[in-house]
Each structure stands twice: as structure tokens, then as C-alpha cells.
Structure 1
């Protein structure tokens, strides 16, 4: 869809500038923390201004395509909402929190969160499964020991995406590999060096931040509150309540789809209630409206309350608003012009790799879907990469370095919305503490710029 008249790159990017400015205005002037209104407002204004330049059919086609791409994510979100509610109801979450309190020590709390999340994501192959299950429990541990929720969420997201990026079971890892025709293990080995460096630096950052937090609060150990959990010991843990957790992560090892894994977790937790309390007639209400804890402990109740389908609805609306904005940007030709301008600018191999990363990040901003942020750049720059003799593994790594890594850092992206909903912390709040993702993007860009400068000087 080429526009009749060519415009500058700045003009083509103007919808994104307007969106960011409107979000900031709504946030700091009207104290509207959600980006839904900003996305809808900017989309409406652009549609009105461009109504004569494009037929509605282009807009409709773009919306349909973007909606189909995010529909699986929207379906998974409903399953996660029901999973959280069912696990809270059946005592799975409280059991996981008990175990976390026993094994996670405050002196190494943030690094531990990142490492545990990374291992779980690498085993399951899914950052979403890890955040929606183990991540929720780890946030509960942070709540109980009064650790800052924003920092805990940042460490969990970092671990989730490190493990997801290096897992042969990950859908994004396999997608980037297949799009560039690079064998999966070759793709992972090529990412390993820079990814491990970034994660190592992130762990150091979490360690020193952890030292500062504990020193500032003068907290030296976790105080077990008997009124919350009673006497916590290994012998007092109801280990059988971890069956749903084992089923969710175990099914992932057999490449079962995430929907089926989450459904298995929901059904197994309901069965636990059948054996312990008889048929829970209120479980249907809990799955829809969320769990309401009445333990009497304010901290414990505040964490366990929630989940369910209703709690997911604001996130679903946010994704739809982002899809509409992406349809406007694509349907009215802005996105096509941006890609044309980038192709004109890319002269050598380093420009192409930078363009691949930049386009992936741009598509995360515009389409709200990390899969499109991998697919479109791979197709757009494949021929240019072949002409310049760029190894396919460099393209596949660049796709992951930007498309996969930046997706949870954008509030209206399906990944950012999912992480925010699952962990109960807004993207704006945990953004500064997602050390791995931020460090890795900076490291990847720095290496490309250094290589580009060296090639110019030689």
C-alpha cells in the first residue's frame, strides 16, 4: 500500500510521537495511568484527518490482520486469569509462597527471583507460563516480606525473558530460527555469549540494589508471621498442592500448547478442591469474578484477592485499543513509508542489522504483537541481508535482541500487558528494574555501532 506522495521519516513516525505525548499528558495532567484512552484518541484523530486519503477497506483489512495476530494472546490471558483465581482458591498459591519464604533469603532476594524465573522459563519455554504461575507466587513472597513490588516484578520479567530467549522450547526462539533458516541450536549458541553477559550484569545490578534496599530498611532476615501462615517448615508444607504446578510445567516439556497447559492447571486445582472440600459450587463464580480471601491477614488477603476473567478485561481492552492504533498506522500507509525510508538508509551490513532491530522495536510499538515484530523485519530485510552477505544467524539474533526483548517494556504490547496483569505491577513502574532486557538492548546496539565504526576506519 504505497502512498501517492512520499513523506519524510519524521512525518511517518508522527503517529508514534503523538501517542507517546498523549500518554504522558493523560498520565501527568489527568492522572490516567492506562494508555487505552490515549491510543483511542490518537487513532480517532488520525482517522479523521486521513479520511479522504485512504479508503476504509485498507483500515478494515489492517485491523483484521492485527486482531488475528493478537487473538491467541487474548485467549491465553483469559486462561491465566482463571488459573490465578483457581490456584488462590485451592491453596496452590499460598503453598508456593510458603516454599518461597523457606528458601528465598532476603540478602539475595532479587538475584534469586531472576535466577528461579530464568530456570522455569527455560524449562517451560514460555515467559508467559512462568510469569502467570511461578511469577505470581514470587510476587506473593515479596508482598509478605514487604519487598518493593516494582523491583521484584522487574527481576521476574528479566529472568522470564532470559530463559525464554535461550530455550529450545520457546515459540519466539523457534520462530526467529525458522524465519531465517538457522538451525535452532545454532541460533541459541549464537545468542548465548551476549545474552549471558547481559544477564550476568543484570544479576550484579540486582545484588547491589538488594544490598541497598535491605540496608535502607534495616531488615536482616525474614520474620515469619504465624498469623499469616502458621509455623512454616518443610514438614508443614502441603506438597500435594504443587501437583497443578508440576502438571503445568511438565506438560510444557512435552511441547503441549500453553492453552492446554494452563487448562490442565485449572482443572487439577479444581480437583484438589473436590478431594478436600467436596464439590465447590462457588468455583464458577471464582473463575469469573476472582478469588476473595478472608484469612484475616491484610497483607495475605491483599495479595490473594483477584484473578478471574473480570480482572483480565481491562488488559483485553488495552490490547484492542493498541490493535486499532496499529491498524490506523498501517492502513493509512505510515508503516509502509517507514519501511521504505529504512531500506533507503541501510547501506552496509551494520545498517541492515540496526534496521532489523529498529523495525522490530517499532512493530512492537505499533502492532502490539511480538510475533509480527519478528515476522515482518525478517521478510523485509532478508533479500538485503543476502545481497550484503550477512550471515543468517546475525539476522536471527538481531530479531530476538529487539523483537523478543523489548516486547514486555511496552505497556500496550500484548507481552507488556500480560506481565503487568499477571504480576500486578504496571509496566511504567517495573520498567526501570527490568535490568536484563534494558542492558541487553544497549549491549546489542553498542556492539553494532562499534563494529560499524571499525569497518569505516579500516
Structure 2
């Protein structure tokens, strides 16, 4: 508990002792730190220039929150009018086997990240659409879950207008296209999922209600 810091933030440092702190002062500082700008100077020119330890508080996040709300409304509207279902059905029309089904799932999840602009919709909507197709192909639900994660979860931060991409860019103060070339896992993961499916490695099947694991 650093009383001097609280005194400084509450503008009461001049001629005031730490023993004169009140609950009102501490509440004022807490609310001010949460809502408004908070700047911490480290003495390191690189860190101070990038403002890694500074924040604009809840007020500075309002633009990101607005983008998230708009993305959720847009995605919900697309789902309600059946546009997302049409896109997914078009992908299902080219499915011929387990490998192509997993590839279509990964592509659909990534496409939802781009079109619906929300990671939640990118996972839930394709998950609902493809669940019956996986059962018809005799594939265990673990395959669907893994494909949704590889195509939807890890790629959401690579889309600037996606809720995850906007949040990460705002918090890190780094543009999405600046950190994208270094996001090796996020870029490689969808391709690895498709490659592993094409090889038939670690694909789980449903057999008489039981699951068996097929390996090379």
C-alpha cells in the first residue's frame, strides 16, 4: 500500500501526510485510475515511448466496445436472415470425405471471423451447421471441436475488424498488421489442421457408439 502514490494521484501531496488519507481519497483515486488516463514512467525510453505501462482506462476502450457491439449486431443479423447458413451450405456441397469436411470447417470458421467479425459466432455458427455432417460421416465431435478452434479461435486476432483483433490492437497499442507476421502459431495452425486431416492422423471415428482412433 503506497500512500505517497495515492496522495500524488489525488493531488494532495503538497503539505499533506500519508496519515491524512481518507476513504474518499482512495475511492477517488481508484475511480480515476479505472476511468481516465493512467501514465507510468519507467525511465526506459523505449517502454515510455510505446506506452506499454500506460492506459486510457475505460473511457479509452469505449471505441473498441462500440466496435464489438456493432460486430455482434451485424453477425446476429447475418445469422437471423439466413445468410450465414447459405454460406455454410455452399461449403458443405463440396465435401466428399473426412479431410474435406474438416477443411471446410476450418475455412468456414475463418470466414465467419472475417464476415461476422466475432470469434463467438465463428465458433458457434459453424459448430451448429457442421455437427450433423460430422455424425453422418461417422466422425467424433472432438474432430469438430478441434477444427473450430484451429479455424476460428486462433485466427480471430488476425482480423483487424474482428472483436478480438480490435481488442488486442487497442490493448497492445500495436496494429494488427504489425504483429501479424510474427503470429506464427495463429497462421500455421489452420493449415496444420487441414494437413493432419488429409493424412488421416489422429482422426477419431464413431463406431457403434464407441470411438476409435485412426492413425497412420
Verify same fold: TM over 0.5: yes
Equivalent residue in structure 1 for 2:58, among 298, 309, 325: 309
CA–CA distance in structure 2, aligned partners of residues 379 and 328 of structure 1: 17
CA spacing shift, 1:390–1:312, aligned 2, 3 Å: same
Please state which structure has a larger fraction of its residues in helix: 1
1:285 aligns with 2:32: yes
- How do 1:330-341 and structure 2 match up within 5 A? 330-341=79-90
> Which structure is larger by alpha-carbon Rg, 1 or 2?
2
Give the superposition deviation at 1:324: 4.4
| Correspondences of 1:32-51 after superposition (within 5 Å) | none
Aligned to 1:353: 102
- How do 1:397-436 and structure 2 match up within 5 A? 397-436=146-185
Of residues 378, 382, 390, the one that matches 2:131 is 382
Once residues 297 and 386 of structure 1 are traced to their aligned partners in structure 2, the CA distance between those partners, rounded to angstroms, is: 57
1:228-264 CA-to-partner distances (Å, cap 9, x unmatched) read xxxxxxxxxxxxxxxxxxxxxxxxxxxxxxxxxxxxx
By how many angstroms is 1:298 displaced? 4.9
Pairs within 5 Å for 1:109-258: none
Query: How many correspondences in the alignment?
Result: 181
Take 2:136 and 2:2, find their aligned partners in 1: how far apart are those partners?
61
Task: Give 1:323 shift.
Answer: 3.2
Mark the runs of 5 or more structure 2 residues left unpaired by the alignment.
7-20, 202-216
Q: Cα 1:375–1:330, aligned 2, differ >3 Å: closer, same or farther?
A: closer
Question: Which residue of 1 is the match for residue 211 of structure 2?
Answer: none
Tell me how far 1:275 sits from its aligned partner.
8.3
Deviation at 1:292, TM superposition (A): 3.2
Structure 1 residues 378 and 305, CA gap change in structure 2 (3 angstroms): closer
Give CA-to-partner distance per residue, 1:101-138, whole Å, 9 cap, x none: xxxxxxxxxxxxxxxxxxxxxxxxxxxxxxxxxxxxxx
Question: TM-score, normalised on structure 2?
Answer: 0.71
> Whole-Å Cα distance in 2 between the matches of residues 282 and 325 of structure 1?
38
1:346/1:355 contact within 8 Å kept: yes
In structure 2, C-alpha distance between the alignment counterparts of 1:373 and 1:293, rounded to whole Å:
37
Q: How does 1:45-124 map to 2 (within 5 A)?
A: none
- Structure 1 spans left out of the alignment, 5+ residues: 1-271, 453-458
Q: Distance in 1 between matches of 2:125 and 2:163?
A: 17
Instruction: Verify the 8 A CA contact 1:322 1:366 in the aligned structure 2.
Output: no
Higher relative contact order (CA 8 A, sep 6+): 1
Distance 1:355 1:365 in 2: 15
Per-residue CA shift, 1:369-389, capped at 9, x if unaligned?
222222222221122111111
Cα shift readout 1:187-217 (whole Å, capped 9, x = no counterpart): xxxxxxxxxxxxxxxxxxxxxxxxxxxxxxx
Q: CA RMSD in A?
A: 2.7
Aligned to 2:119, which of 370, 375, 380? 370
Distance 2:113 2:100 in 1: 20
Q: In the TM superposition, what is the alpha-carbon distance from 1:434 to its structure 2 partner?
A: 0.4
* SS of residue paired to 1:290: coil
CA distance in 1, matches of 2:145, 2:138: 14
SS of 1:339's partner is helix
Secondary structure at the counterpart of residue 345 of structure 1: coil
